[in-house]
């Protein structure tokens, strides 16, 4: 099975989702179930990395991102023979053109 690496923005996305649902919406059960759906989707991707739909993101040097749905969220990732790299976890209503996929420590 592939090793999973979370980019800093993806970690922040995941934490922000949990905080928003749990604290802002005052629905800790929704926060837990949403994080579980995200984690389940990533476990499926670990087993079958190419299962996600290929996506071309113009603001990155790499054009081999994939996406997989996790409830109302979309997980964006790349993979090679050994690992899955999670780049973003975004609400499905979010326009990905408005979201950066480049971390501050990466060169464009």
Tens of pLDDT along 17-52? 999 999 999 999 999 999 999 999 999 999 999 999
The length of the chain in residues reads 108
What is the C-alpha to C-alpha distance for residues 40 and 35, in angstroms, rounded to an integer? 8
pLDDT of residue 12: 95
Q: What CATH number is given for 3-95 in this structure?
A: 3.30.2310.20
Query: CB burial class (10 A; 0-12, 13-18, 19+) of residue 82?
Result: exposed
Alpha-carbon distance values, 11 to 39, 50, 65, 81 (Å): 12, 22, 17, 22
β pairing state of 3-6 and 65-70: unpaired
Domain boundaries, the chain: 3-95
Angle at 26 between CA 14 and CA 18, to 5 degrees: 5
pTM equals 0.86
**Nearest one of 16, 23, 29 to 73, comparing CA atoms:** 16
| List of residues 6+ apart from 36 with CB closer than 8 A | none
pLDDT of residue 104: 46
């Amino acid at each position: 099975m592939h090793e999973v690496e979370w980019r800093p923005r993806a970690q922040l996305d995941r934490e922000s989702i949990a905080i928003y649902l749990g604290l802002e919406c005052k629905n800790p059960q929704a926060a837990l179930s949403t994080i579980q759906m995200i984690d389940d989707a990533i476990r499926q991707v670990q087993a079958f990395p190419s299962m996600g739909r290929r996506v071309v993101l113009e603001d990155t040097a790499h054009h081999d991102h994939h996406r997989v749905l996790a409830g109302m969220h979309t997980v964006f990732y790349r993979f090679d023979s050994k690992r899955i790299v999670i780049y973003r976890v975004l609400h499905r209503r979010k326009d990905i053109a408005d979201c950066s996929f480049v971390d501050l420590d990466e060169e464009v």
